[in-house]
Structure 1
Amino acid sequence: MADVLITHTSGLDAAALGAVRDLLDEAFDGDFSDADWDHTVGGMHVLVWSDGLLVAHGSLVQRRLLHGGHALSAGYVEGVAVRAGHRRRGHASAVMDALEGVLRRGGYRLGALGAADEAVPLYTGRGWRPWRGPTSVLAPTGVRRTPEEDGSVFVLPVDAALDLDGELTCDWRPGDVW
Structure 2
Amino acid sequence: MECVTEVRTAHTAELDAADLRAARALLEEVFADGLTDHDWEHTLGGVHVLVWEGAELIGHGSLVQRRLLHGGRALRAGYVEGVGVRADRRGRGHGATVMRGLERVARRAYDLGALGATDEAAAFYVARGWKRWQGPTSALTPRGIVPTPAEDGCVHVLPLTVPLELSRELTCDWRDGDVW
Question: What is the distance in 2 between the residues matched to 1:30 and 1:55?
Answer: 19
Deviation at 1:21, TM superposition (A): 0.3
Alignment of 1:72-87 (within 5 A): 72-87=75-90
- The structure 1 residue matched to 2:66, chosen from 63, 68, 80, is 63
Tell me how large the CA RMSD over aligned residues is: 0.6
Q: Deviations over 1:37-94 (max 9, x none)?
A: 1100000000000021000000000000000000000000000000110100100000
Question: What is the distance in 2 between the residues matched to 1:175 and 1:69?
Answer: 26
- The structure 1 residue matched to 2:175, chosen from 167, 173, 176, is 173
- The structure 2 residue matched to 1:15, chosen from 13, 18, 25, is 18
- Give unpaired runs (5+ residues) of structure 2: none
- Give unpaired runs (5+ residues) of structure 1: none
TM-score (norm 1): 0.98
Deviation at 1:171, TM superposition (A): 0.1
| SS of 1:133 mapped into structure 2 | coil
Question: What is the distance in 2 between the residues matched to 1:146 and 1:113?
Answer: 14
TM-score (norm 2): 0.97
Percent identity at matched positions?
A: 60
Question: What is the distance in 2 between the residues matched to 1:121 and 1:55?
Answer: 21
Question: What is the distance in 2 between the residues matched to 1:104 and 1:83?
Answer: 27
Deviation at 1:30, TM superposition (A): 4.8
Structure 1 residue ranges (4+ consecutive) displaced by more than 2 angstroms after TM superposition: none
Alignment match, 1:105 = 108
